[in-house]
């Protein structure tokens, strides 16, 4: 039996169990149904299973081809470089917002996130512009 059939049967079984739990919730009169906890547990289990399967196949395919691994490591390195530049440029002064005082560390991390977003947005805009200009030239 191949992996596709196993995944199909597992998805079918999980779907049936989910429908049973949903029926129990809908049939219940009270708001604090005993069906909610098993349903939440099942959703966490499915989420972690999906994440694990995705990570397994990503790393399997990543290490199968050396050129893909090289491109991925270059991309991750460039992204970490952008984050490092954003962290260096970020302002780390204490701030008072709405009567709440935020420490310099919190302010620096928020500023780092915003700076990273601005740099990546600028790169995306320039890349789209460059692509449009080269297509118009052809």
For residues 80 and 132, state if they share a domain. yes
pLDDT in tens, 82-112: 999 999 999 888 888 888 888 888 889 999 9
For residues 42 and 74, state if they share a domain. no
State how far the Cα of 61 lies from the Cα of 71, in Å rounded to an integer: 13
The confidence score (pLDDT) of residue 5 equals 81
Contacts 24+ apart (CB under 8 A), 86-91: 86/111, 86/112, 86/113, 86/115, 86/116, 86/119, 87/112, 89/115, 90/115
The confidence score (pLDDT) of residue 112 equals 94
The confidence score (pLDDT) of residue 37 equals 74
Residue range(s) defining the domain that contains residue 19: 3-64
Do β-strands 100-102 and 95-97 pair in parallel, antiparallel, or remain unpaired?
antiparallel
The confidence score (pLDDT) of residue 31 equals 64
Of the three residues 64, 92, 116, the one that is the final residue of a domain is 64
The pair of structure tokens assigned to 51 is: 């994440």
For residues 78 and 48, state if they share a domain. no
Using the Cα atoms of residue 23, residue 24, residue 28 and residue 30 in order, give the sign of their dihedral: negative
Using the Cα atoms of residue 61, residue 78, residue 122 and residue 134 in order, give the sign of their dihedral: negative
The confidence score (pLDDT) of residue 18 equals 78
State how far the Cα of 111 lies from the Cα of 117, in Å rounded to an integer: 10
For residues 38 and 99, state if they share a domain. no
User: Which stretches of the chain drop beneath a pLDDT of 70?
Assistant: 1, 28-35
The confidence score (pLDDT) of residue 117 equals 97
The confidence score (pLDDT) of residue 32 equals 64
The confidence score (pLDDT) of residue 23 equals 76
For residues 43 and 83, state if they share a domain. no
Q: What is the overall mean pLDDT for the chain? A: 85
The confidence score (pLDDT) of residue 100 equals 84
């Amino acid at each position: 039996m191949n992996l596709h059939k196993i995944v199909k049967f597992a998805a079918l079984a999980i779907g049936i169990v989910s429908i049973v739990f949903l029926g129990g919730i809908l049939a219940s009169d009270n708001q604090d149904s005993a069906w909610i906890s098993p349903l939440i547990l099942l959703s966490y289990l499915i989420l972690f299973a999906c994440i694990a399967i995705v990570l397994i196949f990503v790393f399997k395919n990543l290490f199968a081809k050396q050129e893909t691994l090289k491109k991925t490591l270059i991309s991750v390195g460039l992204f970490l470089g952008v984050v490092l530049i954003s962290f260096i440029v970020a302002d780390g002064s204490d701030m008072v917002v709405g009567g709440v005082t935020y420490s310099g560390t919190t302010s620096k991390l928020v500023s780092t996130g915003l700076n990273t977003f601005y740099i990546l947005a600028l790169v995306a805009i320039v890349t789209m512009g460059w692509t449009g200009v080269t297509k118009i030239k052809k």
